[in-house]
Amino acid sequence: MSIHIDPDASEAQLYSDLPSPLILPPSELLENYEPNVLAPLVRCSKLPFRHLTSLYETHITHTPMMLAEEFSRAQIARVSDFSTSSDERGVYWMTPCSGKGKGKEVIRVNHPEDYHSTSYEKCSITYHKSPSSSSSRYERLPPNPTPPNRDSQLVKGVLMAQFASPNPTSLADAAELISPFVDGIDLNCGCPQRWAYNEGIGCALLRKPELVRDMVKTVKGRMGWNWPVSIKIRVDPDPQQTVTLIQNALSVGISHLSIHGRTRHQASTDPVNLDGIKFAVETVNGQVPCTGNGDIWTYEDVINMRNKTGVKGVMAARGLLANPALFANYSSTPSHAATQFISLSTSYGLIFPLFHRHMAYMLESQFSRPEKVWFNSLSSSVSAIDWLEGRGLDWRSQRDTVWDARRGRGTVEHVHI
């Protein structure tokens, strides 16, 4: 993609002249660009939070784990579990990767508020209408109108739906229902919770390689061989079990593999096993790209994960809950991330318990102990927002100048299925 930049053009003109971004399947995005990934978080990776992380160099996002049987047979489960927006996927300047397993230094793409500017062109650009589009749709913008280097390309982000299933038919039914709204599905083979194991899902599948194979094969048979289906696993104390599981999954054409570097029985406080992730990557032997997950708290951790394991993608969970701008190399949650989450949550709609939990995660390091106690006692989104405004968090004045592509209050479109 060759982009000619007029040195005399205004920023608004540069945005309006942008070409359409590349739209790639997840495997190609992983293989060629080494993207950053939001993990499927229990209840927490709902639409407003996915959209938020997409503003800060998180290129692939996942829904929370959904139960395929419930999703495929009950409308109430589909409405409760999944909603999306045409604007939740980000658009990014990405540089094709070269070399194997080499962590890349991040190029900070500043949020406009970092400039402390009040100029129109720094603060008020939100949407643009594609010159090649005949529709009235306005599209997501990259954070800056000019590429950070001559090799950078405009690439659109990816949304994956994660399902847990004990049988092939339910997974294929769920995949077919959700397929118009996502870029592929991920089969959960890693949830360690006892209830999930007892239901035959999550970690129960780690030692059922033939069932995993049959589930992927059934989805492919329903959706087409090229339709993306990935699996997310944990490392196994017995390496041969990992080999068998991966070989079965590869035999039916998984698009990519995500590896969490802890066993089923390890707590999240145990250090991640990078050697175990590396072993899984070596077992794949380049047949599909891999993503590594576990203990990603800083951008240095991102680079370390790539260097020591050979994964193409790096997935964060708790680290992004604490700091949604982690992948953009912010050391802690910047104020504009907090204000944008309030704006996104109020526009999309997010139940108070989840809104409260996210804000507590994001701002925990900035609260004193008495403030934490007080914030935890609040009982509504209104009271939480009022209290945060009293601490100086100004989100109302930013509602018409949100960085990524939002047109203001009440105009974010999203769908349920």
Mark whether 141 and 68 lie in a shared domain.
Answer: yes
Residue 94 phi/psi, 5° resolution? -125, 145
Q: How much is the pTM?
A: 0.86
Mark whether 90 and 192 lie in a shared domain.
Answer: yes
* 175, part of any domain: yes
Joined together, the tokens standing for residue 369 give 């102990």
* 310, part of any domain: yes
Using DSSP bridges, classify how beta strands 257-260 and 153-156 pair: parallel, antiparallel or unpaired: unpaired
- Rounded distance between C-alpha atoms, residue 211 and residue 180, angstroms: 26
HSE on the CB side for 288, CA within 13 Å?
23
Mind listing the pLDDT tens digit for each residue in 24-66? 999 999 999 999 999 999 889 999 999 999 999 999 999 999 9
* 6, part of any domain: no
Mind listing the pLDDT tens digit for each residue in 279-316? 999 999 999 999 999 999 999 999 999 999 999 999 99
HSE on the CB side for 3, CA within 13 Å?
22
CA torsion through residues 181, 322, 294, 302, sign: positive
Query: pLDDT grade, residue 332 (50/70/90)?
Result: very high
- Rounded distance between C-alpha atoms, residue 162 and residue 151, angstroms: 33
Check 44, 123, 189, 191 and give the catalytic one.
Answer: 191
Query: pLDDT grade, residue 347 (50/70/90)?
Result: confident
Query: pLDDT grade, residue 9 (50/70/90)?
Result: low
Whether the per-residue pLDDT at 148 is higher than 50: the answer is yes
Q: How would DSSP label each residue in 292-326?
A: EES---SHHHHHHHHHHH--SEEEESHHHHH-TTG
Domain that holds residue 146: 11-328
The pLDDT value given to residue 260: 96
Residue 123 a catalytic site member: no
Mind listing the pLDDT tens digit for each residue in 226-281? 999 999 999 999 999 999 999 999 999 999 999 999 999 998 889 999 999 999 99
Mark whether 314 and 343 lie in a shared domain.
Answer: no
Mark whether 54 and 187 lie in a shared domain.
Answer: yes
- What total of structural domains would you count in the chain? 2
The domain boundary residue, chosen from 268, 294, 328 = 328
Percent of the chain with pLDDT over 70: 82
Whether the per-residue pLDDT at 83 is higher than 70: the answer is yes
Mark whether 324 and 371 lie in a shared domain.
Answer: no
Helix H or strand E segment including 265? none
Mark whether 285 and 347 lie in a shared domain.
Answer: no
Mind listing the pLDDT tens digit for each residue in 373-416? 999 999 999 999 999 988 888 777 766 544 443 332 233 344 55
State the amino acid at position 87 in one-letter form. Answer: D
The domain boundary residue, chosen from 328, 349, 382 = 328
The domain boundary residue, chosen from 328, 345, 361 = 328
